[in-house]
Amino acid sequence: METDLYPAIFKRKSIRKYDLTPLGDETLARISKFLQGLKRIDNGINTELKIISKDQVKRRFLKPAPHYIAAFSEEKHGYPTNIGFMLQQADLFFSTNDMGSCWQGIPKPTEEVLSSTNLKFIIVMAFGQSKETVHRTSVSEFKRKSLLEMTDIKGADELLEAARLAPSPSNSPWFFTGDKNLIHAYLKPSRLRELIDKELQYIEIGIAICHLYVAAEHFGKKAAVTFDKDPTRNEHTKNLEYIASLKIE
């Protein structure tokens, strides 16, 4: 990634109060260019990210913001995780550039926007200038599980700490195993989450994998997301769902 997004991991926060004044054309053009260059978990999945206005989002459960990114995807294996991985790069980009953003799990675009593509709508992200403090002042402000609760890997704390701080309304439903050169990501199944929003838990683990990827690149490593047909199983992961692996060189 041309922009080092790693520092934003430790200070980003979800912004819910915005100045509703639209961003300037030059700023929106820069955001659009960044979105066009997002890394993907799977380049074989067709996706589309649309920048839309507040008037193009249905108002039910909506946190008003001047702009939103509406994410659409082809329905192939791993597509929600791919969207989570992609759109979290935008979340970190906004924080890096002193703008606010927030994942919006319930609101949907208007029918006009939905009908403008043949891809499936996945989720929206609000963004714009914040009316509250954009950044956290300390990592202690994050309310997250400890590393011991989400991994058994030793010697890769600088990568795994980034994943620990990933935004997660489901309270980090993931577990990482393997080693510092090959990290396997697993999802903890949730019957409640399956009923409420099945895709969201897969989006969340995509966000965490994104943070791992960003951290690896920051420390000068070459990272690639892979899929293991026979992933590592142990007492921690025998009842979990394998999602993907991050190969680090």
Cα separation of 58 and 228, whole Å? 39
- pTM for this prediction: 0.94
Spatial contact of 164 and 172, defined as CB atoms under 8 Å apart: yes
Q: Tell me: the pLDDT tens digits for 199-248?
A: 899 999 999 999 999 999 999 999 999 988 767 677 778 889 999 999 99
Domain regions of the chain by residue span? 6-128, 143-248
Sequential DSSP letters for 27-51? HHHHHHHHHHT---S-TTS-EEEEE
Q: Tell me: the pLDDT tens digits for 135-157?
A: 999 888 888 889 999 999 999 99
CB atoms within 10 A of CB 57: 23
Query: Smallest Cα–Cα separation from 225: which of 173, 183, 168?
Result: 183
% of residues, the chain, pLDDT over 70? 95
CATH number of 143-248: 3.40.109.30
The arithmetic mean of pLDDT across residues 34-60, rounded, is: 94
Spatial contact of 74 and 193, defined as CB atoms under 8 Å apart: no
Spatial contact of 242 and 189, defined as CB atoms under 8 Å apart: no
* Top-level class of domain 6-128: alpha beta
Q: Tell me: the pLDDT tens digits for 5-18?
A: 999 999 999 999 99
191-218 helix and 157-164 helix, angle to the nearest 10 degrees: 140
